[in-house]
Chain A
Amino acid sequence: AQKITQTQPGMFVQEKEAVTLDCTYDTSDQSYGLFWYKQPSSGEMIFLIYQGSYDEQNATEGRYSLNFQKARKSANLVISASQLGDSAMYFCAMREVLYNFNKFYFGSGTKLNVKP
């Protein structure tokens, strides 16, 4: 079974509008971490936001927020006030801690295009 599912291969959003990128995950662990990364066309992976499974409040980092719904196993990324520079691939990832290892699972990504 897929550990991380991103069902939106591509999305368009108008500049200055908000957009939600979907992510669902599958794990039987009680302790895990959820991450979002941005990958511009340059190829580098940029860490955006982190949510721990025991965190009661949704994580926020500037214009990014993570809508964490534990019972539904979803961790959607919300970008407020989209900017042209937000056009990129976005990956949702989950970390499971096995002994001392940090193993991450990544979704297939969502390509976001911000229109002027």
Chain B
Amino acid sequence: DVKVTQSSRYLVKRTGEKVFLECVQDMDHENMFWYRQDPGLGLRLIYFSYDVKMKEKGDIPEGYSVSREKKERFSLILESASTNQTSMYLCASIPPGRGYGYTFGSGTRLTVV
């Protein structure tokens, strides 16, 4: 079975800290994505990557950066965490081709205090 693993399920960080959220997939997918999910807003795309070292901004990239040094790993970085970044973060990957949906990780619920 295909798998996307997010390293932490729950995380509490202090304002101003640098935060790393890790995502690993075992399906050799080129495309990987980071979303945040907030009540009433659905899922919003932060960044995506279509290959190693390649990245593209999504709809809400401000305050975030990403790293993709290996195909299987896509990291989301909060350079200086703020309370408005308290959210659920979801990582997803997808193979090329039109008929496929995302495989999601189980999510990281981040609280910034």
Contacts and interface: CB of A to CB of B under 8 A. Distances in A.
Interface of A: 4, 6, 9, 31, 33, 35, 37, 42-45, 47, 50, 52, 91, 93, 95, 97, 100-104, 106-109
Given A43-B88, A44-B107, A45-B104, A31 B42 contact: no
Given A43-B107, A100-B96, A91 B101 contact: no
Interface string B24-36: 0000001101010
Nearest to A31: B98
Chain A binding surface SS class: strand
Nearest to B51: A100
A58 to B, nearest CB: 16
Interface of B: 30-31, 33, 35, 40-45, 48, 50, 56, 88, 90, 92, 94, 96, 98-104, 106-107, 109
Contacts of B48: 101, 103
25 contacts: A6-B42, A33-B98, A35-B101, A35-B102, A37-B102, A42-B106, A43-B106, A44-B106, A45-B92, A47-B102, A50-B99, A52-B99, A91-B43, A93-B43, A95-B101, A100-B96, A101-B31, A102-B31, A102-B100, A104-B33, A104-B43, A107-B42, A108-B41, A108-B42, A109-B42
A31 B33 CA distance: 21
Contacts, number: 66
Contacts of B109: 43
A50 B33 CA distance: 19
Contacts of A106: 35, 42-44
A103 B45 contact: yes
A7 B107 CA distance: 25
Given A31-B98, A52-B98, 13 more contacts: A33-B98, A35-B101, A42-B106, A45-B104, A47-B102, A50-B99, A50-B101, A52-B99, A100-B96, A103-B48, A106-B35, A106-B42, A108-B40
